Amino acid sequence: MKTAYIIFISLLFSSMSMPVMAAINASLDQNQIAPGESVQLTLQHDGQTNSQPDLSPLKQDFEVAGQSSGSSVQIINGKVNSKVELILMLIPKHSGKLQIPALSWDGQHTPVLDLTVVAGAPGQAGNTSGAVTAHPFITTKLDQQQPYVQAAATLVIKIYVDQPLLQASLNFQPGNDVLIQQLGDDQQSSEVYKGKNYQVIQRKYLLFPQRSGQIRLDGPVLNTQVQVQDNTVSANDPFFGNSPFGGMMSATRPLRIQADPVVLNVQPRPANGSAHDWLPAQNVTLNETWKPDSGKIHAGEPVTLHLHLGAIGLTAAQLPDLSQAIQLPQGLRAYPDQAKLNNSVQSDSVFASRDQDIAIIASSAGHYQVPELHLYWWDTSKNQQKEIVLPAHTLDALPGVVTSSTGVTPLPQGASNSDTSSSASLSSPRAGSVFAGDFWKWLSLLFACMWLVTLIIWWRVRKNQSTSKAVTVKEPFIPPVLAPHAEKSRQAFQQACTENDKQAARQSLLDWARATWPQDPPVGLQALSRRLDNPVSQQLIMQLDRACYVDENWQGSALRDALEQLNNGVNKAALAETKLPGLYPK
């Protein structure tokens, strides 16, 4: 009997010393929501703990938009009760019937919870407790479904809301094959949609596809906070119902709305296009102005040709340098000034302009004709190639005007030589007159040559100063530490050239260029070739560009070696004359 009593007492103390498994529970504030809405998951742990539950199973179907935790202790009739609570705001990644999986916390698992995400206006699918009152949605519209490669397509995004959004942001990420630029500022207006008044926020983007074929972009995403109808979340909870923590969690709720994907069916560059530069645009204009416009100049004096090139649907970086397309006859030299580039919003597109002055100087007197200038561009609205022709221009260069610091000037035609020849009359009046005429002839020629050389040096200095100033303002030096991914893009480009993969080479080359000029990235390979200003590299880049368009076989070793020489500074003479830094500044 005594032995049994001792065993009973031992079992009693053993049971008291055994750890009690803490109970955990999970609950949802709603079991049915609309796409984009968030749902509140509450995890409760009886007793105090310093550990955290394993939330990794949630990542498959949900994104944790926010979380907060709290604890409380209550003493009732001498009995101590404590609890730890974790509140998670979850946003489903897709629609349908989903499950909140079992979560592990201190060796215990929460029950599995069901959640249905149905299509419909946000806030209408959930229950009345804590339902979201805002019903935002997004629409997108492209001005054209089948743009040409490197041509601008305008995307209009509209956000419809019926109450203010808090901490709202709209994200639209570009793909590897599309360059995206925002067009103008956001616009606000009011619209009636299906009998309901909405405030509308409109934003426009320009999309520049860099390859042909179908391109799919994820739709723009709106991330925001919206108010809820009441503060009943956890109101009946004996621990958190009256705490400031519960009220704060129920005041606003995160909301994420994503529009439908944007799909572009990009047309390739037409095979029958004969232009050297690919200019797909809605309209292109080219005007010229000559100063002076009389067509008569003196040898050694500059005449200025001003070219104004404008295009709707292109950026200024896509416009070609027409000074290199002018073919001058023997005896004329061209000195182009730094071009002025400008982009502005025009309706639902962009208007780009390029203004450039070109000084033309005749080295000797004579009759010159500047030939016609032809510019080809592709009309995207009519799907046909068009041509702009600037007419030929005639220049009559007269002998140079000579001035002397001593005040001596050549005699005008028909003037008397009596004063000049009188000093030679002791010898022979005729010989003295001939000697004076030859002297002034050679003196005039000498001064003309000196003046011409001085003018050329002045134009060279002005050109270099203008170029240096433009480089300083528009293209600051970018240390490699600010663009670490440039080296990765360069290596990817070299690998693609080694494997003769033209599409990969084109993409990695543009990535390399964007990392080098993040503030003003070139739009396409043509703009990049003009920026390098190296004849060999330009020709090889254009061969790659054409191979991508017409599906030709391509060998990448030549382009790889040429750009590597530029990158390593081997061709220092070419780099010294370029207007912009090398593709990868050191």
SS (H, E, C) 491-534: HHHHHHHHCCCHHHHHHHHHHHHHHHCCCCCCCHHHHHHHHHCC
Q: Output the pLDDT for position 251.
A: 73
Give the pLDDT band (50/70/90) at residue 491: confident
CA distances from 98 to 116, 178, 340 (A): 6, 34, 57
Give CA–CA dist 257/270, Å, rounded.
Answer: 39
Mean pLDDT within 35-54: 80
Strand, helix or coil for residue 356: strand
Q: How far apart are the first and last CA of the chain?
A: 94
Over residues 208-226, mean pLDDT = 89
pLDDT tens column, 330-358: 989 888 988 999 998 877 788 999 999 99
Q: What is the pLDDT of residue 247?
A: 42
Instruction: Note the CATH architecture for domain 16-117.
Output: Sandwich (2.60)
In the predicted structure, residue 564 carries a pLDDT above the cut 80: yes
In the structure, what pLDDT confidence band is assigned to residue 426 with cuts at 50, 70 and 90?
very low
Q: Are 152 and 314 in contact (CB under 8 A)?
A: yes
pLDDT higher at 483 or 119: 119
More confident residue, 478 or 43: 43
User: Could you tell me which residues are beta bridge partners of residue 280?
Assistant: 378
The conformation of residue 414, written as its DSSP 8-state character, comes to: T
Mean pLDDT of the chain: 74
Give, to the nearest 10 degrees, the angle between helix 502-516 and helix 524-532. Answer: 60
Of 33-42, 228-237, 371-380, least confident by mean pLDDT is 228-237
C-alpha to C-alpha distance for 367 and 301, rounded to whole angstroms:
15
The span from the CA of 124 to the CA of 34, in Å, is: 7
Res. 581 pLDDT band, cuts 50 70 90 = very low
Q: For tokens 């009220």, name the residue.
A: 247
Q: Are 417 and 425 in contact (CB under 8 A)?
A: no
Strands (E) across 172-278 are located at: 178-193, 196-209, 213-217, 221-227, 252-258, 262-266
What is residue 256's predicted lDDT score, i.e. its pLDDT?
85
Top-ranked range on mean pLDDT: pick from 341-355, 423-437, 462-476: 341-355
- How buried is 442 (Cβ within 10 angstroms: 0-12 exposed, 13-18 middle, 19+ buried)? exposed
d(CA 118, CA 96): 6
The answer to whether 280 and 148 are in contact (CB under 8 A) is yes
Averaged over 278-288, what is the pLDDT? 93
The three-state (H, E, C) secondary structure of 80-148, written as one string: EEEEEEEEEEEEECCCEEEEECCCEECCEECCCEEEEECCCCCCCCCCCCCCECCCCEEEEEECCCCCE
* CB-facing half-sphere around the CA of 231: CA atoms within 13 A: 11
Q: What pLDDT is attached to residue 106?
A: 80
Contact 110, 103 (CB under 8 A): yes
Over range 256-271, report the average pLDDT: 88
Contact 498, 476 (CB under 8 A): no
CATH number for the region 137-266 comes to: 2.60.40
| Better-scored residue on pLDDT, 536 or 310 | 310
Split at pLDDT 50, 70, 90, the class of 235 is: very low
The whole-angstrom separation of Cα 537 and Cα 505 is: 14
pLDDT band at 438 (very low <50, low <70, confident <90, very high): low
Lowest mean pLDDT among 183-192, 337-346, 568-577: 568-577
In the beta sheet, which residues pair with residue 257? 222
Q: Which of 27-41, 480-494, 550-564 has the lowest mean pLDDT?
A: 480-494
Q: What does the alpha-carbon distance between residue 261 and residue 263 come to, in Å, rounded to a whole number?
A: 6
3-state class percentages of the chain: helix first, strand second, coil last, to nearest 5: 30, 35, 35
Q: Note the pLDDT of residue 101.
A: 87
Q: Within its chain, how far is the Cα of 439 from the centroid? A: 65
Under CATH, which architecture does the 280-398 domain have? Sandwich (2.60)
Residue range 83-112, pLDDT digits in tens = 888 888 887 877 788 888 888 888 888 888
Assess whether the region 16-117 and the region 280-398 belong to the same CATH fold. yes
Q: In what order do the strands lie in the sheet with 113-117?
A: 32-33, 113-117, 96-100
Q: Is the pLDDT of residue 586 over 70?
A: no
Q: Where are the domains of the chain?
A: 16-117, 137-266, 280-398, 480-577
Model confidence at 82, pLDDT cuts 50, 70, 90, reads confident
CB 326 within 8 A of CB 532: no
Query: Beta partners for 297?
Result: 397
What is the model's pLDDT at position 6? 53
Mean pLDDT is lowest, of 16-30, 118-132, 390-404, for 118-132
Provide the pLDDT for residue 439: 56
125: left (phi over 0), alpha (psi -120 to 50) or beta: alpha
Specify the range with the lowest mean pLDDT, choosing from 214-218, 237-241, 495-499.
237-241
Higher pLDDT, 293 or 133: 293
pLDDT at 431: 38
- Give Rg (Cα) of the chain: 39
Among the residue ranges 165-174, 189-198, 232-241, 251-260, the one predicted with the least confidence is: 232-241
Q: 430: pLDDT confidence band, cut at 50, 70 and 90?
A: very low
